[in-house]
Amino acid sequence: MQFRGRKHVVAVGGVVAAAVALAACSSSSPSSSSASGTINASGSSFQNTFQQAAISAFKSVDSGITVNYASVGSGTGRSNLAAGTVLMAGSDSPIPSSDLSTFKGKTVLYFPVVIGPISLAYNLPGIATLKLSPTVIAKIFQGQITTWNDPAITALNPGVTLPSTAITTAVRSDSSGTTQNFTLFLQNAAPSVWTLGSSSTIKWPSTARAGAQNGGVASIVKSTSGAIGYVDYTDAVASGLKSAEVQNKAGDFVAPTAAAASTDAADATIASNLTFEAAWASSNAAAYPVTYQSWDLVYAKQPNANDATILKAYLGYLLGAGQKLLPALYYAPLPSGLDQKAVAQLSQITG
Amino acid sequence: MAVTTQQSVDLREPSGWRRAKNQIVTGGMWFAFLCMLVPLGFVLVTVIAKGASTISWQFLTNGTIPPNILPASIGGMGAAVVGTLVITGLASVIAIPLGILGAIYISEYGTNNPLAAFISFLADVMTGVPSIVMGLFIFTIWVLHYGYSGLAGAFALACLMLPIVIRSAYEMLRLVPNELREASYALGATKSRVTLTVVLPAAIGGIVSGALLAVARAAGETAPLLFTILTVESTNANVFSGANTALSTQIFVNATQPYVGAQDRAWGSALTLIAIAFILMIAARLTTARFTRYSR
Amino acid sequence: MSTTVKTGPAIPAGPVRGLSLRRPLGDRAFALLALAAGLVVLVILVLIAVTMTQQSTSWFSSEGWSGVFSTDWDPAHGKLGAMAFVYGTVITSIIAIAISFPVSVGVALLLTEVVPRRVAQPIVYVIDLLAVVPSVVWGLWGFLILVPWLQTIYAHIASAVNGIWILGNLFGFLNGNYVSGASFFTCGLILAIMITPIVTSLSREVIATVPATDKEGAYALGATRWEMIRGSVWPHSQTGIVGATLLGLGRAMGETIAAALVIGSSPTITSHLFTPGYSMPSVIANQFGESSGVFRAALIGMGVLLFLLTIIVNLVARAVVERNARRMRGTA
């Protein structure tokens, strides 16, 4: 199974390597090069590509600290943090209230580290741009709109001749934060139409084709004419897939880009513990509404001073120089106001 | 005197339809063998074709697994190779002696012993326990208290290997003729002496080859490791503490990535893993051929 | 004069230790060691059963027995019924056995009855090679190569049999023109490939216990090879082969990684084999990462169900094989 993005990906890889080198050289944060230790982190697979690049670049900043990030899913990441088997958990959503008791009353700090668009990737040969509204997307994924030349879709795309091909929806077979936030967007944007709820696992209609991880969904879309699926933007680009333009709150159709995602997140209501919902958050005309976020969770009170020091060093890097890695990876950096609040929160980590 | 001449009847060849049925069935058996050969060939050809270009000394030894984005020519899976070797090694050290002792218990101390019969039955049941259940089990009782480590992974693999080693060692011990044991007893040896110095050496060839096959199976298992080692990117030769990684889990994680580099690394790792398993299998066959004294 | 020489008891030449009834310390220690090793198996199994049941109680208590076995699986709305997964596990295992049984028995008979020793060696190597390929490699190959290839084949078969009575229900389209490479049948196929080596070796062992006199007697009466197999080998070994197949079934039910990648991940109960389905080990592997609370308890609970199911299958297999062995010993 060859992804046509081979040359593209090599180019991306080259850009990343260059960006990594650049970030390392230009790092001006006072690196605590005397600190050493190992940070074991696990959680969200959405963050995985970013974490891998950051870990690799961080070695040049502070070679004494080894960071390991395992992409096991936000749920397991959170439960690992609760059990104390990792120092840091990556999570695409806040801790559900039903799980709070597992943290035994200890304060958990949320550090937003990355924003990213979810792409509606489609496979329609010859159709260069596709405009979709949240209501139409909801109906497509609920199996209520079944062909591409349905009036609801053609109404949004004047001047484009859509084929009568049947729509094949591609969804995740494994539970995922991407699913959770995509359905959160649908719940927020089309509440009267969307009935399947918002969760990391959804009971999709039986006509939906399931693939494992973003890569699995991307490969279904790529190999099936008339398919549409929801994929993290980074993976859609890596697979060479086209993304649809989605209508935002202002009524404009916006394509997924890093800038559009940041614009959307900038208008989200930030709670005092830095949690927020980026999906369908902004009324800005340039905002891409299907955007989501990921946090790194750590305990405020660390078991020892060294753990506090190395966590502050690595999180500080992620919030500072690490943000420069994001555009090349097709993520969006944090809006600057949010970034500042997160950096200020670093001081609450004590050991 | 009249000489009666009899028509010579060819007693060797059966008549038409019987012969045909025989040939059809024999053909069917060869076809069954072909059915086995085809997927094996298919998989080997695919893995070799896709993985061979990725394999290099650097791939096998480079200590840090690079980000998925980077192509396969950068970095390598050395961390996973080390992980697989140390975790499987520790699991073997735990499971093989325990398994051989267990088999000795069932076979040597098992006559008229209902407990031994029960344990033999339990060992059979244990061979059927799904590997994911072993992984979840170790996750629940060990990882949640002591964290992710190569040790936890080794425990999970040892749970998987134990019943296999017990079963194969038991079959080998059973084949040792009783006369050997009786002769040793007649010379005044104690039971432990008989077992250790006579029975075990007689069966050792088969026991070792069975153990090697169990190791090969463990090296390729993924599900028990998914929940116990955390699959990290850096080499961790300390199997007792700290999260680790292994070839099998890396293949599983990489297989579903959209990045070509990650997929290439998955194929390269698959080839490496198959090579390790084959080497162990060939070692097992050679041991059987050279050292087995008693076989069926 | 006769002198009676009183002979006393024989005086031993050197020091002698009396034959005591107590075994030497080293011997007893070794026996205890062996017993402890055997008990480890018992301890592990008990621990597995206990801890996993403990972790899954919240599922059983919140759903109740009717909920646990309902067909409604919708974690987003709190519905956690496991029936679809039990169905998928059973169906894929049956497909695996249906494909693997003839192949395994065929090859086992080939090795024991047909080929001479020299040719048997490479065939045994092939079986070993098949056994040693790691399950994740089967999954990788299945997911990336087999699934797309089978998709087109399924589409052809489905359009050919659609509407025909039983075949249409088994191999036809479910809704519209929809068949998937990742489906019940593909999962069963991959499982069959994986369990064939075990079933073959076990069947070989069973067939090898058929007394040579019976076989030679059949040949002496002029039977062809097939008639000899049908008349001498099969009656002796049928229960043993069935037992071996059941053991393979136990393995097929528990196989996780390869199944998770090719089964299609859609909890549906349908007779159409070319549509995506789900099974217990697959759902655990796929969904454990993001699960928490009652959802996680449900997944662990399914692990418990799987454990029980494989125990039952192994019990039955063992009983069947034992019966065969007992009959063999009786007639020896």
Nearest-Å Rg of the Cα atoms of chain C is: 28
Nearest residue to A171 via CA among A117, A234, A223, A213? A213
3-class secondary-structure state, position A108: strand
Q: What confidence tens digit (pLDDT) does each residue in A256-308 have?
A: 998 999 889 888 888 988 988 888 888 889 999 999 899 999 999 988 889 89
Cβ neighbours for A216, distance < 8 A, ≥ 6 positions apart = A172, A173, A210, B256
Report the percent of chain A where pLDDT is more than 70: 90
Cβ count near A321 (within 10 Å)? 21
Nearest residue to C310 via CA among B164, A244, B125, A74? B125
Q: What is the pLDDT of residue B183?
A: 93
**In this structure, is residue C55 part of a structural domain?**
no
Report the percent of chain A where pLDDT is more than 90: 38
Choose among A13, A71, A85: nearest Cβ to B147.
Answer: A85
Chain B residues with at least one Cβ partner in A under 8 Å: 64, 66-71, 74, 143-145, 147-148, 230-234, 242-243, 253, 256-261, 263
A42 to chain B, any CB pair closer than 8 A? The answer is yes
The DSSP annotation for C48-68 comes to HHHHHHHHHHHHHHHHHHHHH
C47 to chain B, any CB pair closer than 8 A? The answer is yes
Side chain identity, residue B104 = I
Question: By CA distance, what is A218's nearest residue in B?
Answer: B258
Whether residue A318 has pLDDT greater than 50: yes
Residue A156 · residue A133 · CB < 8 Å: yes
Question: By CA distance, what is C304's nearest residue in B?
Answer: B133
Range of the domain at C81: 75-331
Q: What is the pLDDT of residue C26?
A: 84
Q: Which of B5-9, B51-55, B70-74 has the lowest mean pLDDT?
A: B5-9
A45 to chain B, any CB pair closer than 8 A? The answer is no
Average pLDDT value for residue range A205-213:
83
Q: What confidence tens digit (pLDDT) does each residue in C274-300 have?
A: 888 899 988 888 888 777 778 888 888
The backbone region for A104, taken as left when phi is positive above 0, alpha when psi lies in -120 to 50, beta otherwise, is left
Q: What is the pLDDT of residue C16?
A: 53
Average pLDDT value for residue range B237-248:
85
Average pLDDT, rounded, for chain C: 84
C52 to chain B, any CB pair closer than 8 A? The answer is yes
Q: What is the pLDDT of residue C45?
A: 92
Tell me if B66 and A70 make a contact (CB, 8 A cut-off): no
Only one residue has tokens 């010993």, namely C329
Let me know how many helices (H) and strands (E) chain B has, helices first: 13, 0
Q: Which of A102-116, B42-56, B180-194, C317-331 has the lowest mean pLDDT?
A: C317-331
DSSP bridge pairs for B244: B230
Nearest residue to A16 via CA among A343, A336, A331, A334? A331
Mark which residues 16-55 of B lie under 8 Å from C by CB.
Answer: 18-19, 21-22, 25-26, 28-33, 35-37, 39-40, 42-44, 46-47
pLDDT band at C181 (very low <50, low <70, confident <90, very high): confident
Higher pLDDT, residue C328 or C140: C140
Tell me if B46 and C145 make a contact (CB, 8 A cut-off): yes
Tell me if B29 and C310 make a contact (CB, 8 A cut-off): no
> Which chain B residues are Cβ-neighbours of A45 within 8 angstroms?
none
Q: What is the pLDDT of residue A17?
A: 54
Residue A23 · residue A322 · CB < 8 Å: yes
Best interface-test mutation with B: which of C93, C107, C136 has the largest number of B CBs within 10 A? C136
> Which chain C residues are Cβ-neighbours of A210 within 8 angstroms?
182, 264-266, 276
* Joined tokens for residue C197: 């080596």
Tell me if C52 and B136 make a contact (CB, 8 A cut-off): yes
Question: By CA distance, what is A14's nearest residue in B?
Answer: B70
Choose among B43, B159, B280: nearest Cβ to C141.
Answer: B43
Tell me if A13 and B69 make a contact (CB, 8 A cut-off): yes
**What is the rounded CA–CA span in Å between residue C276 and residue C272?**
9
Whether residue B13 has pLDDT greater than 80: no
Average pLDDT value for residue range A38-64:
89
Q: What is the pLDDT of residue A14?
A: 53
> Which chain A residues are Cβ-neighbours of C148 within 8 angstroms?
1, 223
Average pLDDT value for residue range C165-176:
75
> Which chain A residues are Cβ-neighbours of B258 within 8 angstroms?
3, 5, 214-215, 218-219, 235, 238-239
Choose among C135, C253, C311: nearest Cβ to B222.
Answer: C135
Q: What is the pLDDT of residue C160?
A: 83
C301 to chain B, any CB pair closer than 8 A? The answer is no
Choose among C75, C148, C289: nearest Cβ to A73.
Answer: C289
Side chain identity, residue B7 = Q
Domain B81-247 adopts which CATH fold?
MetI-like fold (1.10.3720)
Nearest residue to C179 via CA among C198, C153, C209, C214? C153
Tell me if C107 and B133 make a contact (CB, 8 A cut-off): no
Average pLDDT, rounded, for chain A: 85
Average pLDDT, rounded, for chain B: 86
A303 to chain B, any CB pair closer than 8 A? The answer is no
C35 to chain B, any CB pair closer than 8 A? The answer is yes
Chain A residues with at least one Cβ partner in C under 8 Å: 1, 72-76, 78-79, 96, 98-99, 166, 173-177, 180, 183, 196-204, 206-210, 212, 223
Tell me if A238 and B69 make a contact (CB, 8 A cut-off): yes
Distance (Å) from the alpha carbon of A130 to chain B's nearest alpha carbon: 23
CATH code at position C103 = 1.10.3720.10
Domain positions in chain B are 81-247
End-to-end CA distance of chain A: 49
* Joined tokens for residue A305: 């001073």
Tell me if C264 and A173 make a contact (CB, 8 A cut-off): yes
**Angle (deg, nearest 10), helices A6-25 and A48-61:** 40
Best interface-test mutation with C: which of B129, B253, B271 has the largest number of C CBs within 10 A? B129
Whether residue A207 has pLDDT greater than 90: no
Tell me if B32 and C261 make a contact (CB, 8 A cut-off): no
* Joined tokens for residue A267: 């208008």
Q: What confidence tens digit (pLDDT) does each residue in C183-199 have?
A: 899 999 999 999 999 88
Distance (Å) from the alpha carbon of C255 to chain A's nearest alpha carbon: 17
Whether residue A22 has pLDDT greater than 50: no
**What is the rounded CA–CA span in Å between residue A198 and residue C231?**
63
Choose among C74, C265, C293: nearest Cβ to A99.
Answer: C293
* Joined tokens for residue B121: 């039955």
Tell me if C289 and A223 make a contact (CB, 8 A cut-off): no
**What is the rounded CA–CA span in Å between residue C151 and residue B229?**
35
Report the percent of chain C where pLDDT is more than 70: 90
Mark which residues 48-77 of B lie under 8 Å from C by CB.
Answer: none
Q: What is the pLDDT of residue C186?
A: 93
Distance (Å) from the alpha carbon of C231 to chain A's nearest alpha carbon: 50
**What is the rounded CA–CA span in Å between residue B99 and residue A107?**
46
Find the DSSP H helices in B109-199. Answer: 114-127, 131-138, 144-146, 150-175, 178-186, 191-194
Tell me if A212 and C276 make a contact (CB, 8 A cut-off): no
Mark which residues 85-104 of A lie under 8 Å from B by CB.
Answer: 85-86
Average pLDDT value for residue range C98-106:
94
pLDDT band at A3 (very low <50, low <70, confident <90, very high): very low
Higher pLDDT, residue B91 or B243: B91
Query: Phi/psi of residue B74, each to 5°?
Result: -100, 135
**What is the rounded CA–CA span in Å between residue B66 and residue B56?**
15
Best interface-test mutation with C: which of B124, B213, B280 has the largest number of C CBs within 10 A? B124
Q: What confidence tens digit (pLDDT) does each residue in C38-53 have?
A: 999 999 999 999 998 9
Q: What is the pLDDT of residue A112?
A: 93
Task: Report which DSSP code applies to A147.
Answer: B
Average pLDDT value for residue range C140-159:
86
Nearest residue to A32 via CA among A54, A66, A65? A65
Q: Which of A325-339, C17-31, C59-73, C137-151 has the lowest mean pLDDT?
A: C17-31
Distance (Å) from the alpha carbon of A319 to chain C's nearest alpha carbon: 25
Q: What confidence tens digit (pLDDT) does each residue in A226-261 have?
A: 999 999 998 899 889 999 999 999 999 999 998 999
Nearest residue to A147 via CA among A166, A170, A125, A124? A166
H or E segment to which residue B20 belongs: helix B16-51
**What is the rounded CA–CA span in Å between residue C142 and residue C148?**
9
- Tell whether ipTM is more than 0.85: no
3-class secondary-structure state, position A125: coil
> Which chain C residues are Cβ-neighbours of A203 within 8 angstroms?
73-77, 267
Q: What confidence tens digit (pLDDT) does each residue in C242-257 have?
A: 888 887 888 888 888 8
Q: What is the pLDDT of residue C19?
A: 59
The DSSP annotation for C142-207 comes to IIIIIHHHHHHHHHHHHHHHTTSHHHHHHHS-SSTT---SSSHHHHHHHHHHHHHHHHHHHHHHHH
Tell me if A206 and C174 make a contact (CB, 8 A cut-off): yes
Whether residue A30 has pLDDT greater than 50: no
Domain count, chain C: 1
Whether residue C22 has pLDDT greater than 60: yes
Taken as a whole, chain B contains a residue count of: 296
Q: What is the pLDDT of residue A28?
A: 41
Q: What is the pLDDT of residue B89?
A: 93
Q: What confidence tens digit (pLDDT) does each residue in A56-110 have?
A: 899 888 888 889 888 888 888 888 898 888 899 999 989 988 888 888 888 999 9
